[in-house]
Structures are given as structure tokens and as C-alpha cells.
Homo-oligomer: A and B are copies of this chain.
Amino acid sequence: MAVDRDQVLRGAAALLTRKSTATMDEVAKAAGISRATLHRHFAGRDALVRALEALGIAECETALDAARLDEGPAPDAARRLVREIEPAAGLLAFLYTENQLFEGEELHHGWTRLDDRISDLFRRGQLSGEFRIDLTPAWLTEALFGLLASGAWMVQSGKGAPKDFQHMIAELLLGGALRPGQAPHSPAPQNPAPQSSATQIEES
């Protein structure tokens, strides 16, 4: 009855997302198969993590496609992105922190692709005047992943409601903690604004 490889991966992801140090034995149990069978499908823990990485990347790519990042206002695209990527947030949180371990090893080239696609969104928003330009697209991308991880953990630990996930992340990422209209205090120099789509009231 050939174990459903994808099913196994999802079971593994569900566990490793919560306990990143879980044993192959625990993973096997979580997936509902024996350790032997787990080994038959994935040469070792490393191979398993790689497979999860591939799964995570694939889900992200799918999410990015579904979010149609290059359509409409950039902020709306960012919100769509958060919405589409939510199901993968737990897995991403695992992979994101896991990646901090791979010191020298080259990281999966798929990540750089994702990074690029998301960075492009932020860059597009900057060019259109919708996003501020004193925060680099690379940082905004990194911050998005960080917030996704924080949000996923918060929900998992029960400190936050799942229904608030998208709002929490998208709103903080886009609007920050300040109330709209609040003038920044020690702001970075912001160009007079080439301006563009929407109204902007200029600050200070």
C-alpha cells in the first residue's frame, strides 16, 4: 500500500514545526509509519529536512503565484501574499530557523528564488511610491519571514488567535505600530516623494 510520501511529509512537518529537534522515531510515529519505512523513503534525517525544504519552497511558490504579486497596488499584493502563505507559515518557521544552522553550506537555491520574487514586490512598491525607500527590499523580505515565524509560534503557543494571523502580520509589516497620521520622530530622510498612485500627505 505504498505509503503516501506527501502524507508522510506533512505529518513530519506538523511535528517538526512544533519540535524542531524531534527524533526520526518521533517523526515516524507522527507520520503514522514505522521508523524502518521512514528510512526507506528518506535516506536520513538530512534527506528528510531537504524534502521538507522542497515542500516548503513548493508551497511558497504556489502561494506567490496565487498572490499575483505583480498585479495591482503593492500593499494589496503583500496582503494577498500573507493570506496565501499562511498555511505554510508553520513549516516556514521551522525551515527559517533551521537554515540558521547551515553555516557554510550553500542554501537551497530555491530560497534565493523566493527571496528574489518577494524582494521584487517590495522593490516594485518602492518604485511606485507606495513603500518607503529607507528600508531595503532584502530587509523587508527578511522581516516578513521573521514575522511569519513569530506569528506562527504565537498561534501555536495559544498566545494569539489563528483568525488574527493575517491581520497581525500584514498590518504590522505594512503599517507598523504607529497610528496612521502619527508623524515619525527620528525619521530617516524620505524623498519628497516621486509620488504615484495614491494620495500622500507628506510628513513632518
A160 touches B138 (CB 8 A): yes
B193 touches A181 (CB 8 A): yes
Tell me if A42 is interfacial: C-beta within 8 Å of chain B: no
A143 → B minimal CB distance (Å): 5
A180 touches B132 (CB 8 A): yes
B185 touches A103 (CB 8 A): no
Contact of A145 among B134, B150, B200 (CB under 8 A): B150
CA distance A103 to B16 in the complex (A): 12
CA distance A179 to B167 in the complex (A): 19
A167 touches B181 (CB 8 A): no
Q: A175-B178, A181-B202 are in contact. Are A142 and B130 (CB under 8 A)?
A: no
Using a CB-CB cutoff of 8 Å, which residues 163-204 of chain A contact chain B? 164, 167-168, 171-188, 190-194, 196-203
Using a CB-CB cutoff of 8 Å, which residues 120-135 of chain A contact chain B? 122, 125, 129-132, 134-135
- Please name all residues of chain B whose beta carbon is closer than 8 Å to the beta carbon of A203 when the two chains form the complex: 180-181
Contact of A193 among B76, B132, B150, B180 (CB under 8 A): B180
Contact of A159 among B101, B130, B138, B180 (CB under 8 A): B138
User: What 9 pairs between A and B have smallest CB-CB spacing?
Assistant: A181-B193, A146-B150, A176-B176, A181-B200, A181-B201, A180-B203, A175-B176, A146-B146, A183-B196
Q: Which residues of A contact B (CB under 8 A)?
A: 18-21, 73, 75-76, 78-79, 97, 100-101, 103, 122, 125, 129-132, 134-136, 138-140, 142-143, 145-147, 149-151, 153-154, 159-160, 164, 167-168, 171-188, 190-194, 196-203
